[in-house]
A and B are shown apart, each in its own frame.
Chain A
């Protein structure tokens, strides 16, 4: 997605930074300061102010695959930069979770390697060997089921699968509406379900609404087969641009990526089907050989801060549900105006376990082709 020239430029910059880092590195270790690369909490490293000072000294943070319009990341990055005076290098903003861990492996040891990643659950669990444990100050506010006990990974924000659609179709009240002829060539997923997490969950949503279980996605694949036979399936991957252009007028996607404010189209509606809301959270982790270990840890502290301009509330403003939302609702730090704008969800939420997600991926790998092809 990036031009080779820019890559070369980044490579050169990285080399220059590496050279600069090497020359200054020896002096800091000689003066006996904390080695932030192995510190597992801010207090263990000498407190927040020591962390901020060390991060400012590093001066740079490498992030990857964070689209500026996704869950308010544009504002989150600029707030962090302003607050701490640390430059954020945002690589490959439209990349996938797998490309994030590929970058950790391929750029390992260079100053351009990602310091932190924001990945889907399956990718996080498959790559814990690349991460280093760290517990943010608000660790106890993260529900126990949504974090690794040792701190290798911790879920950050999430949402529910929703059907976004152009209001020219009237109001959608059930999944079967989408099989009617007025939706010819209209219904799209956000990516190939054998590749993109949002795509897989789109099929899973149809599965749950058609009476399927989280462990068996076959009814969802059958439903998309029916959709295809009805001529209503739209194979173009939905993005903000295709929605604006009207190419993908109905989209299965996470609710925070399906809001009119995110999509930028005023006549856009969001429908979270009642009964079986299907939730999904993304996961934060720190690269164990992060080139900027203190900045990486400060970034996590910032993302999990419950302050008005902290990461949790900024995600909420972007329509995503921060992982500490329940704790923040009870302690009163939540931005209640932003919380009130979230699409309503009714019923007991379903979250796929690792086994369920793997079973779904394997079933899709073997059957999606023949159902849609």
Chain B
């Protein structure tokens, strides 16, 4: 996803070409085959199953289940966690990106931050949860932090560990696109720092910032292993409840409900990613 965020800025007109021996679309076959098998097919199966009743006939009862207060509770849990986690990640990540971007563009600090961010943005799952557990968990080496178990703030702090670096990565191109000349021009016209950010920097960065925040939102939505290892005896968010209804051995297993929950998540992701694409298009207007 971080790659997708940067390619638009780097798009170049194609080379005037020699003729290729194979049609150009052949090159896209592996990509579309991969997307088809691992994204479209599972999505299709979930959609198909979500509109079935347990005996296999077409039914809208699954959709009605989305209105059930218990199920809505898991979606509120997910939304709450994703909002808290994406906003904190976006704010701190943007500040960090600004600090790094205003330094030497070829300096060691910048390269170090980007490399470390690239690694930490991928650091999640059981490993991350266990690291926090050992450090500040119920009998942590450092301390027993009781806030650590609060939902959503405790888990949001853990998510920040990969959300902030991801924000640095996806927000960096926007920060780099902020030309020094604009700042100089506004200072020459007598603008204060506040006026510059209020009328120039802020509006320019807003679409990119919101787009990146949406990406972080989607990232937090799908995270499962971290929260499951952190808080296993109760389900707060949708992915946990999907696991419960798939695996419950006390008689609450219900594959249809899992499909309906997954359908709800697909709808959420579709909304978020549409917003992301629109904002990204707007941000790309001046990033070239």
The yes or no verdict on A and B being binding partners is: yes
Q: Which residues of chain B have C-beta atoms less than 8 A from A361's C-beta?
A: 248, 250-252
Q: Is the CB of A192 within 8 A of B249?
A: no
Given contacts A249-B139, A365-B70, A366-B70, is CB(A236)–CB(B232) below 8 Å?
yes
Cβ distance B65 to chain A, nearest Cβ, rounded Å: 13
- The 8 Å CB contact of B133, one of A184, A236, A362, is A236
A95 vs B149: C-alpha distance when bound (angstroms):
26
Q: Does A120 contact B (CB under 8 A)?
A: yes
Stretch touching chain A among B6-14, B192-200, B239-247, B276-284: B239-247
Chain B: interface secondary structure?
A: loop
Q: Which residues of chain A have C-beta atoms less than 8 A from B36's C-beta?
A: none
Q: Is the CB of B244 within 8 A of A237?
A: no
A191 vs B229: C-alpha distance when bound (angstroms):
11
Q: Does B236 contact A (CB under 8 A)?
A: yes
Q: Does A98 contact B (CB under 8 A)?
A: yes
Q: Does B111 contact A (CB under 8 A)?
A: no
Q: Which residues of chain A have C-beta atoms less than 8 A from B151's C-beta?
A: 373
Chain B interfacial residues counted at CB < 8 A: 29
Q: Is the CB of B233 within 8 A of A192?
A: yes
CB under 8 Å from chain A, chain B span 71-120: 73
Q: Does A245 contact B (CB under 8 A)?
A: yes
Given contacts A195-B244, A366-B70, is CB(A235)–CB(B139) below 8 Å?
no
In this complex, which of B146, B149, B234, B251 has the most chain A Cβ atoms within 10 angstroms of its Cβ?
A: B251
Q: Does B206 contact A (CB under 8 A)?
A: no
A361 vs B253: C-alpha distance when bound (angstroms):
11
CB under 8 Å from chain B, chain A span 180-207: 184-186, 188-189, 191-197, 199-200
The chain A residue with its CB closest to the CB of B154 is: A235
Given contacts A245-B134, A247-B133, A366-B70, is CB(A96)–CB(B249) below 8 Å?
yes
Q: Is the CB of A195 within 8 A of B247?
A: yes
- The 8 Å CB contact of B250, one of A235, A357, A369, is A357
Q: Which residues of chain B have C-beta atoms less than 8 A from A123's C-beta?
A: 249, 251, 253
Given contacts A122-B250, A189-B233, A372-B233, is CB(A234)–CB(B138) below 8 Å?
yes
Q: Is the CB of B232 within 8 A of A98?
A: no
Q: Does B46 contact A (CB under 8 A)?
A: no
Q: Which residues of chain B have C-beta atoms less than 8 A from A246's C-beta?
A: 139
A334 vs B251: C-alpha distance when bound (angstroms):
34
Q: Does A358 contact B (CB under 8 A)?
A: yes
Q: Is the CB of B133 within 8 A of A237?
A: no
Q: A96-B248, A235-B234, A369-B73 are in contact. List 14 more A-B contacts (CB 8 A).
A: A122-B249, A126-B251, A185-B139, A192-B232, A192-B244, A194-B244, A195-B250, A195-B252, A236-B137, A236-B232, A247-B137, A360-B250, A361-B252, A365-B252
Which residues of B are in contact with A by a Cβ distance under 8 Å? 70, 73, 133-134, 137-139, 144, 146, 149, 151, 229-236, 243-244, 246-253
Which residues of A are in contact with B by a Cβ distance under 8 Å? 96-99, 102, 119-120, 122-123, 126, 184-186, 188-189, 191-197, 199-200, 231, 234-237, 245-249, 357-358, 360-362, 364-366, 368-369, 372-373
A-B CB contact pairs (8 Å), 20 listed: A96-B247, A96-B248, A98-B246, A98-B253, A122-B250, A184-B144, A189-B233, A192-B235, A192-B244, A195-B249, A235-B149, A235-B233, A236-B138, A236-B233, A247-B133, A361-B248, A361-B251, A366-B70, A368-B234, A373-B236
Q: Which 10 A-B pairs have the closest CB atoms?
A: A185-B138, A237-B232, A97-B249, A122-B251, A361-B250, A235-B231, A195-B248, A195-B244, A120-B249, A96-B247
